[in-house]
Structure 1
């Protein structure tokens, strides 16, 4: 069983899941190799499957990354597959999920050519690009900072990027964000992430705050919302998924569904790496049996 763990040249050594995952794969009898998606010397056909893990530069060259996903999928099996990646790498997917009845944080979108001055009138809000990772190029504003927010949105729009505007949910400052991890559609573990966006700070390029990651037991309401999110997807059970929820007065709401290259926080939950490796072994065994 040969598995490629796809990162990026720029991300080598930055993926906190890799050591745990490689050890768990070895114990499960999987020959796993860390390879960069943008390394032209890699022969992708030598792997039985390729698992997207940390290609964290894709937002800067999305067309090339999507073309790579399509090409690799013709040579071997890509997890998660290209159609999932293409949909999930643009946060306008949140509109799709909201239309299917998922409780999503209120979302407003601006496209290149739109007037940034039409962004909604909110007491406190976040401006971010629709294609981006973590909190990169995202910033938190108050109503009185509207001119600065418009200028931020204009910079993104002028660069040809779509923009997402959402109200800032203050409960995250005290309760944090809950990330629920699923393998093959089954809940594995959850992590608490502290708020990263600070009022008045410039846009950050951080993915998350390493100092404030803690294991968390999700509430029944959080688990129910996360399961509803996954149940609405037309893709079938995915090898991995991370559902990021924020607390609100109406209950948990979806911030993001991460099914392209999420951190899985394997070192923070006992047995998580082993469970994920077992999922991968089952998938590989089924794949190889169907393609002797």
Structure 2
């Protein structure tokens, strides 16, 4: 690692009050950025003392408490003068109804039924399904249910009813059983260029229960296949305003029943980038930040 240079730019790595010194993965680029003359430091997004004008760039990282305060978080993003990713991307991507937009232009997306706040609750009568809110992170208020089982069906209906009563849009998706053996593939891009990929093990074992800020994951290094890269690039090409504006992107893919990769989530706001799992990833991220600053 090169010795730190005299700082020529100052960057906020934006986090939340529960992680004021950043998540362990988010610390990884601090030294590479210092070696490139960029002073990077954690700043809590809702800290009233934070001076966002003092930073050349604010990079959203571990702001994992936003989902319960979504409107407040978006309003904060609108006040930050230099934000990555841009505020219109944050507004669009923090509500998973963006999957509707992507599906409408031909992106292969996990099949989803949408229950809007004024909907009448209807659930399939059989099969395993995932029920979750459209605005969420960290697997909160998310559960897996066998809808042929009366007890689990009642739990699924109870969760959906609760979310609808809170004026939240509900997603109902068939559980992708291939995840149990193959896991998810997270394909990660910096500055529009493929950086690395990881495998995430299956996370949903049953009905929703209380979790903390985030749920621990089984993470391993994985190489993205040509097919996964093709789908990931198709996803990014469909981002409103163009993918070239993105500092980072994480495309979460799962195999469908035929083994073809389909989009589970597109993470453009506060995704873990798993920098510790791939040698050189933190340096590639630092290079992307420097390039972003030079725009």
Fold equivalence (TM over 0.5)? yes
Equivalent position of 2:28 in the other structure? 20
Q: CA deviation at 1:199?
A: 2.8
Alpha-carbon distance in 2 for matches of 1:12, 1:70: 22
Q: CA deviation at 1:281?
A: 0.6
| Aligned residue among 225, 235, 239 for 1:233 | 239
Q: Is the 8 A contact 1:138 1:204 kept in 2?
A: no
Q: CA deviation at 1:135?
A: 1.2
Q: CA deviation at 1:218?
A: 1.1
Q: Is the 8 A contact 2:133 2:169 kept in 1?
A: yes
Residue 140 of structure 2 aligns to a residue whose secondary structure is coil
Alpha-carbon distance in 1 for matches of 2:203, 2:73: 27
Q: CA deviation at 1:10?
A: 2.1
CA deviation string 1:16-54 (max 9, x = no partner): 222211111111211111101110001110111111111
Residue 17 of structure 1 aligns to a residue whose secondary structure is helix
Equivalent position of 1:289 in the other structure? none
Alpha-carbon distance in 2 for matches of 1:203, 1:91: 21
Query: Residues 99 and 241 from structure 1, CA distance in 2 versus in 1: closer, same or farther, beyond 3 angstroms?
Result: same
Equivalent position of 2:264 in the other structure? 255
Query: Does 1:37 pair with 2:45?
Result: yes
Residue 129 of structure 2 aligns to a residue whose secondary structure is strand
Query: Residues 149 and 201 from structure 1, CA distance in 2 versus in 1: closer, same or farther, beyond 3 angstroms?
Result: closer
Q: Alignment length, in residue pairs?
A: 281
Query: Does 1:100 pair with 2:105?
Result: yes
Residue 38 of structure 1 aligns to a residue whose secondary structure is coil
Structure 1 residue runs without a partner (length 5+): 287-292
Query: Does 1:196 pair with 2:203?
Result: yes
Q: Which has the higher helix share?
A: 1
**Which has the higher mean CA deviation after the structures are superposed, 13-22 or 264-273?**
13-22
Equivalent position of 2:4 in the other structure? none
Equivalent position of 2:129 in the other structure? 125
Q: Is the 8 A contact 1:126 1:138 kept in 2?
A: yes
Equivalent position of 2:3 in the other structure? none
Equivalent position of 1:138 in the other structure? 142
CA deviation string 1:58-105 (max 9, x = no partner): 101111111110011xxx311101100000011111011001100000
Alpha-carbon distance in 1 for matches of 2:118, 2:208: 27
CA deviation string 1:214-271 (max 9, x = no partner): 0101111111110100011122221000000011134001000000100000000110
Q: TM-score, normalised by structure 1?
A: 0.92
Query: Does 1:67 pair with 2:75?
Result: yes
